[in-house]
Structure 1
Amino acid sequence: MLRSLGAGLLALLLTACGGGKLLQPGSMEITLLGFNDFHGNLEPPQQSVLAQDAQGRPVAVPAGGAAYLAQAIAERRAANRHVALVTAGDMIGASPMVSSLFLDEPTIEALNLMQVDFAATGNHEYDQGHAELLRMQHGGCEQFTAKQPCQLSRPFAGATFQYLAANTLRSDGQTLLPATGVKFFEEQGMRIGVGFIGMTLKNTPLMVRPSGVQGLTFADEASTANALIPRLRAQGADVIVVLIHEGGSTTSGLQDDSCRGLSGDIVPIVEALSPEVDVVISGHTHRSYICDYAKINPRKPLLLTSAGLYGTLLTEVRLTVDGRTRRITDRSARQHIVQGEAYHGRSGPVALQPQFPVFSPEPQVAQLVARYKQAAEPLASAQAGRLAGPASRTLQSNGESVMGRIVADSILAATRDAAAGGAQLAFMNPGGVRADLVPAADGRVTYGQLFRVQPFGNTLMVLSLSGEQIRQVLEQQFDGGSNTVESPRILHVSQGFSYRFDRRRPAGQRVSDMRLNGQPLEPTTRYRVGLQSYLGTGGDGFSVFTQGQDVTGGMLDLDALADHIRTQSQNGPMALPLQERIARVEP
């Protein structure tokens, strides 16, 4: 009778610790909390998550904000006994002004307060170079960029969590940062280890400034992970989790784990992973999904998740581990929408969706964000000019966007004078245009808004290319680096330059009718081309730019954008460049 009573009490205890789920004696429930692609969005990013209400109707739920995310994490910690908090890359880089102005130090400090355990590096962790990434990890005030470090935190202490970079290799074959980490959990005499492998996508060198990853190589993701599993087992890891900054998308709903419509670069990686991998927490595509991968491939009973972007979602993965076999007997996941209690849009307070949880701000993180926001406010609120209407970065069917045209025009305007390089045309990569530019009712736009559009701190440059080399650059939109015919990366072009493309034609023959101010480009004539240093050093797979000659340096891209909008709006709001410059001739 006493034995029965003891067993019953143990079951009740395990049920309470497991958040209401009945566990078999000798089992342990472990919770993984994960998010990705935060991009320094300390303040609410004015984003919504598409969900379903109790009647199954679609509803947009406002979400995001570091203080609200921190509170969501704290509440999930309180509801679960054994928790690891992990991230899947791009915590920093391409950040709004409150973080980027201070070299993303405040974002690292916020993540420290959230008590992150392990973080994979993403491609944007390398935006400012790997030396700066190491400063993010270890701290210090050594200057590796044009911006001044340690403006508020003196000294900057660095991350208290561990960055993992399993497939980022130095010239001596050693990883830039540790490849793996293990966290142990103990209960009722059981000790379960969870091993983490963290890495970025192997195409990272094609997505960052080449000088920032000089001397580094990025190995294949799946083979890297598979080779590390024996090491983790030897260190006591019973559960294997891969944190990877690569992803895909699905057509399934927010909480639907059916994997319906799963596609993207993450799929061949998962297919090549060892069956010993239990969970893959992914990112990079800014999509949210929960995928019970056994529904696609029964030989790989793992969970594949991604939490969207900007801290709008927090993924909770729950694993039941048998203490005798040291293997997972049950796994599940769900997304928590990070809806804060007080959102403000451009026209006032934003209505909440009360059928979903509403989080209060976590005090310490809220105080941190307020401190940096106050320091950035004088510059962020200054008027930069006026626009006649909203300028969207949404790509049109030909690959252009209104905001992209504005940025390309600003590069040309800043580099056109002979003393600035004498540019005749300019290019801008679409991934470098990070936000829409929406003016106030009177057309006013601020410097802070411009900073969200151009947060990388690239410098401008001018170089000489022949007409034939320019054609080769444009052909690389469909066949260069990670650019493909199915997923091309169309460059924005400045006013006065135009061309046509047809993806149905053979490689090397897809671009035609290149014209500058109405005149055909001559193959052997050399032209002066303005662009950002990111493209100029071969970023996004556009290696032909590195063949440019007579290179001239220039100002910061953000300053060029601010000068352009200010100049164009001196006599009234700046008109939007709505006319297409690129002709897509395919159906």
Structure 2
Amino acid sequence: MPAIGRIRTITLSTLTTAALVAAGCTVAQATTTPEADAESTFTLDLLDINDFHGRIGASSDSAGAAVLAGAVDQLRAANPYTLFVSAGDNIGASTFASASQDDNPTIDALGLGGLDVSAVGNHEFDKGFEDLIGRVTDRYAQASGGDGGDYTLGANVYEKGSTTPALPEYALREVNGVSVGFIGTVTEDVPSLVSPSGITELDFGSELEAANRVAGQLSDGDDANGEADVIVLLTHNGSESADCSTIASETTSYGELVREADAQIDAIVSGHTHQSYDCQIAGPDGERPVIQAHQYGTTLGKVSLEIDEDSGEVVSSSTELLALTSQDAEGNWQTNYPANSTVQQIVDQAIADSEEVGSIEVGKISEDILRGGQPSGADRGVESTLGNTVADIHQWATSNENYGGEPTQIAFMNPGGLRADLLYGEDGTVSYKDAAEVQPFANTLVTFDLTGAQIREVLEQQWQPAGSERAKLHLGISEALAYTYLEDAPVGEHIQQITFNGEPLDEAATFHVVANAFLAAGGDNFTAFAEGTNHADSGQIDLDATVNYFKSHDVVTPAPLGRAVLAGTEWATVTLSTSEVAPGEELEVTVSGLAEGAQISASAFAGTTEFTDLPAADAAGTVSFTLPVGDDVDPGDYELIVSQTQREDIVTAFSVVAAQPTATPTPTESTSPSPDFS
């Protein structure tokens, strides 16, 4: 598909002068170049979103598509010289109302809600390239009434083995006589983020090279290849940090992009990492706005560019992040803008259409089953009960008595494939919709063989390559597998001991494993999975496997944490009142060096004595308890094991010694008093 740009014109003779400040707005930094005559300038406002992920319905801090469109309406009314743009991932990993209908409601809502242009994100490739340039592009054209390619900009996406653009590289808009060009790029890591089978005919090149190449083209004076007075980069890439100084100096491909993108690029709108930041960062020719507007329609970014009408030059800029929702005094979420009624109808219909199938009960849970981090889902680099539970489900699905293939022994689950928690709610009921929102990608389960050495390599690859968006991605693992690790270690030396069914993993042996199709193909930089042998489609979709698991279990309990344990026992000190104790006596135990409020457990005598309800550590980081030694305990050497979730056990030895017999008094002869003859 050739790179094409289309000009849409915005011309209005007057501007509305009313000032609007949304609740929760925070004004960031501004930069100014030498001032132009105030009467010859106008303000171009760029409203931006990223990582919307089909959140069409309102939920807590996610405002929903109707309020998002309503906010754009209100801000356009304040300044008609306004464009609404996206940095990608509008669809994919969506909530059930959208995902159950192939994200068509999201495309319709954004198109009718006034979205002008969008970069393509990695999730736009979830259903493959042909779906993207066919159904998705056509749907955007139908909803917006314009060119659908303007919503899939990707200047660094090429036909395989060439530098021929596979997607439109840029789109043009004319605002008050000034040409505004938007260049779209997407993270070069797309091949590791989507199923390889859907992008076999594509290459993903350098964002920096593509951005600078197209920026040069748009400013070379040749009308035949498109010209723009103002250039904006929409990049589906971002920083893991929300700190502007950190972003300005980070040694990642994104840091390089924001610093070295062509001086003709006046602003950079980012996505992918779901962060909130609005910065002014130095480029080749002074500072320029760099912004990312969080995720899921919680926030609307705003870049204001003051433009000289005669020259088309940007003379100053400022940025804001506008909260679309806020909490009242009772903690209830409320929207900060009115809903767009047309988009609300789309949302209502989509929700209604999804409710019938989504409301079917599939099972029950005993308590919340959560993703990693605080709040849940915030950290993909830590172990989670949901990750381990889903791994257990996948392993069960490919090993139970109804499974016709070779039973698997181990399962793995990637944290990025978990998009919602399973919450207990009122009675633990899990609906089809709840299950679908956890794993919305409809991945097939793939079985294959790995050696023990390859399993070690897989676990090492949780620490991602230098320059990756996330430093670590923690895999959920099924019950039989466990390991200890060092967080700070050289590459290839993080994983310490690995056990399988409680015994050291035989690294020369071969194990039959299962993972979703994304992981099995080496997604998320887990290349060792792709190097396995005998890959085979199990014939099961991850959602179907989950539903069947719930049907086969009366109540599903969360898989425990602690399958991955931080190596080392320096996290606490265990002190015994004595190292030797007799049956019937007691040991006083003190555990110190803990964080205040930390919970521990303990056991002794091969688990026959357990302490599972010890008090939390006090302000000094100490927990004390008494270990009774029964009268019937045989003399010998024993161990006290002190445990904390996700840490290596501390084992302290003590001895039970035979009780000393009670001394029997030695009888003495009675001395009769001598008779008194006095």
- Coarse TM-score class (shorter-chain normalised): 0.7 to 0.9
- Is the Cα contact below 8 Å between 2:171 and 2:181 reproduced in 1? yes
Distance in 2 between the 1:82 and 1:124 partners? Answer: 30
Which residue matches 1:134? 133
In structure 2, the residue matched to 1:552 is 536
Q: How does 1:482-561 map to 2 (within 5 A)?
A: 487-554=471-538, 555-561=540-546
Q: CA 1:361–1:350 in structure 2 vs 1: closer, same or farther (change >3 Å)?
A: farther
CA deviation vs aligned residue, 1:181-210 (integer Å, no higher than 9, x gap):
111122xxxx21111100111111111111
Whether the 8 Å contact between 1:249 and 1:288 is mirrored in structure 2 is: no
CA contact (8 A) 2:259 2:284 kept: no
Contact 2:16–2:77 (CA under 8 A) maintained in structure 1: no
The answer to whether residue 444 in structure 2 is matched with residue 444 in structure 1 is no
Q: Which residue of 2 aligns with 1:392?
A: 370
Shift of 1:262: 3.4
- CA 1:468–1:351: 2 relative to 1, 3 Å: closer
Say yes or no: does 1:453 pair with 2:434.
Answer: no
Residues 206 and 397 from structure 1, CA distance in 2 versus in 1: closer, same or farther, beyond 3 angstroms? Answer: closer
Aligned residue number for residue 65 of structure 1:
64
Q: Does 1:104 align with 2:131?
A: no
Instruction: State the alpha-carbon separation in 2 of the partners of residues 366 and 310 from structure 1.
Output: 17
2:574 corresponds to 1:575: no
Output one character per residue of 1:441-460: Cα deviation in whole Å (capped at 9) or x when no partner: 21112111111110000000
- Please state whether the residue corresponding to 1:138 is helix, strand or coil: helix
> Which residue identity is paired with 2:315?
T
Which residues in structure 2 correspond to 1:373-452 (within 5 Å)?
373-395=351-373, 399-417=382-400, 419-452=404-437
Contact 1:482 1:540 in 2 (8 A): no
2:365 alignment partner AA? L
Q: How does 1:78-93 map to 2 (within 5 A)?
A: 78-93=77-92
Within 5 Å, which residues of 2 pair with 1:24-423?
24-47=38-61, 63-139=62-138, 159=148, 161-171=150-160, 172-186=162-176, 191-233=177-219, 234=221, 235-251=226-242, 259-262=244-247, 265=252, 266-294=254-282, 299-339=285-325, 351-352=332-333, 358-395=336-373, 399-417=382-400, 419-423=404-408
Gaps of 5+ in 1: 1-12, 48-62, 142-152, 253-258, 344-348
- SS at the partner of 2:356? helix
Task: Tell me the distance in 2 between the aligned counterparts of 1:479 and 1:372.
Answer: 38
Give the match for residue 477 of structure 1. 462
- Preserved CA contact (<8 Å) 2:53 2:296: yes
Q: How far apart, in 2, do the equivalents of 1:157 and 1:182 lie?
A: 12
Q: State the 1:130 CA deviation.
A: 0.9
State the number of aligned residues.
Answer: 523
Code of the aligned partner of 1:470: I
Superposed displacement of residue 423, structure 1: 0.4
Matches of 2:360 and 2:479 in 1, distance apart? Answer: 28
Q: 1:251 to 1:168 in 2, by over 3 A?
A: closer
Question: Over alpha carbons, which structure has the higher Rg?
Answer: 2
User: What is the SS of the residue equivalent to 2:535?
Assistant: strand
SS in 2 for 1:25: helix
Secondary structure of the corresponding residue to residue 164 of structure 1:
coil
Q: How far apart, CA to CA, are the structure 1 residues paired with 2:531 and 2:311?
A: 59
**Contact preservation (8 Å) 1:515, 1:521:** yes
Q: Deviations over 1:120-155 (max 9, x none)?
A: 0111111111111112443379xxxxxxxxxxx99x
Deviation of 1:95 (Å)? 0.6
CA positional deviation for 1:339: 2.6
Contact kept, 8 Å, 1:280 with 1:304, in 2: the verdict is yes
Counterpart secondary structure, 1:477: coil
| Cα distance in 1 between the residues matched to 2:295 and 2:392 | 29
Are the structure 2 counterparts of residues 289 and 23 from structure 1 closer, same or farther at C-alpha, using a change threshold of 3 Å? farther
Q: Give the TM-score, by structure 2 length.
A: 0.72
Report deviation, 1:220.
Answer: 1.0
> CA 1:251 to 1:139, structure 2 compared with 1: closer, same or farther past 3 Å?
closer
1:23 CA displacement: 7.5
Residue 104 of structure 1 and its aligned partner are, at CA, apart by 1.0
Shift of 1:481: 8.2
1:459–1:557 contact (8 Å) kept in structure 2: yes
Matched to 1:196, the amino acid is: F
Task: Please give the alpha-carbon distance, in whole angstroms, between the structure 2 residues aligned to 1:385 and 1:496.
Answer: 24
TM-score (norm 1): 0.83
Query: Which digits, 9 at most, give the CA deviation of each residue in 1:155-178, with x for residues without a partner?
Result: x99948532110011124222211
Which deviates more from structure 2 when the two are superposed, residues 574-583 or residues 260-269? 260-269
Cα separation, partners in 2 of 1:197 and 1:298, compared to 1, 3 Å:
closer
Q: Is the alpha carbon distance of 1:18 and 1:28 closer, same or farther for their aligned partners in structure 2, counting shifts above 3 Å?
A: farther
Rate the CA distance shift 1:434–1:16 in 2: closer, same or farther, 3 A. closer
**Matched position secondary structure for 1:69:** helix
* Residues 120, 151 of structure 2: 8 Å contact kept: no
| Structure 1 counterpart of 2:645 | none
Task: Give 2:512's aligned amino acid.
Answer: R
Following superposition, the deviation at residue 411 of structure 1 comes to: 0.3
Q: Deviations over 1:539-564 (max 9, x none)?
A: 11111212222233221101112222
Mapped to 1, the partners of 2:288 and 2:481 lie a distance apart of: 50
CA drift at 1:70:
0.8
> 1:278·1:301 contact (CA, 8 Å) conserved in 2?
no
The structure with the greater share of residues assigned to helix is: 1
Residue identity over aligned pairs, in percent, reads 31
Deviation of the 1:16 alpha carbon: 4.4
Structure 2 SS opposite 1:419: coil
Q: Look up the match of 1:565.
A: 550
For residues 183 and 115 of structure 2, the distance between their equivalents in structure 1, rounded to whole angstroms, comes to: 15
Distance 2:192 2:242 in 1: 28
CA distance in 2, matches of 1:91, 1:374: 21
Displacement of 1:435? 1.1
> Aligned equivalents of 2:320 and 2:146: distance in 1?
34
Q: 1:140 to 1:16 in 2, by over 3 A?
A: closer
Q: Is the 8 A contact 1:429 1:491 kept in 2?
A: yes
User: Does the residue aligned with 1:278 lie in a helix, a strand or coil?
Assistant: strand
Shift of 1:298: 8.5
Paired AA for residue 534 in structure 2: D
- Judge conservation of contact 2:448–2:534 (CA < 8 Å) in 1: yes
Q: Aligned pair in 2 of structure 1 residues 377, 324: CA closer, same or farther (>3 Å)?
A: same
Cα distance change, pair 16–102 in 1 and its aligned pair in 2 (3 A): closer
Provide the rounded CA distance (Å) in 2 between the counterparts of 1:496 and 1:23.
Answer: 72
1:195 aligned partner, one-letter code: G
Q: Retained in 2: the 8 A contact 1:465–1:548?
A: yes
Secondary structure of 2:325's counterpart equals coil
